[in-house]
Amino acid sequence: MDNGSGVALANVAVKLVPTTYKRTFHSAQETYQASVSRHIVQPETLAAQRSTLLPGLLITYDFTPLAVSHIESRENWFVFLSSLVGIVGGVFVTVGLVSNCLVNSAQAIAKKMD
């Protein structure tokens, strides 16, 4: 607390989301994701607003009705190989086009100089 008196309202809000993690070759793990926010209301603010809240600790929990399901999976080897072949082929074609343009432009400049 910023105030030296030590009298204030600490408001803590906790939000829980049920989550299922499923990893490759492992069983599903049930857990919760938590989000916590903390806000301190100073005694001057409580007095100025004529609030009915008393100094202390206010904790609120919110259980979300929606659940998160996280499934981790791996790509098979054919997807990896096809991506690798695509990248290597794209690099080969790009280098061929750039070198062909450079060679043709050098030849055109050489013809103009003759």
pLDDT interval class at 88 (50, 70, 90) = very high
71 in Cβ contact with 40 (< 8 Å): no
CA distance 91 to 55: 67
| Cβ 63 vs Cβ 16: under 8 Å | yes
10 Å Cβ neighbour count for 43? 15
Q: The pTM is what?
A: 0.46
Which is higher by pLDDT, 85 or 110? 85
User: Band of the pLDDT at 103, cuts 50, 70, 90?
Assistant: very high
| 14 in Cβ contact with 60 (< 8 Å) | yes
Task: Please report the pLDDT score of residue 1 as a whole number.
Answer: 47
In the Cβ-directed half-sphere of 46, how many Cα atoms lie within 13 Å? 15
pLDDT digits (tens, 9 = 90+) for 35-60: 888 888 777 777 787 776 677 788 88
Please state the domain extents for the chain: 1-74, 75-114
For residues 15 and 62, is the Cβ–Cβ distance under 8 A?
A: yes
- What is the distance between the alpha carbons of residues 54 and 9, in angstroms, rounded to a whole number? 7
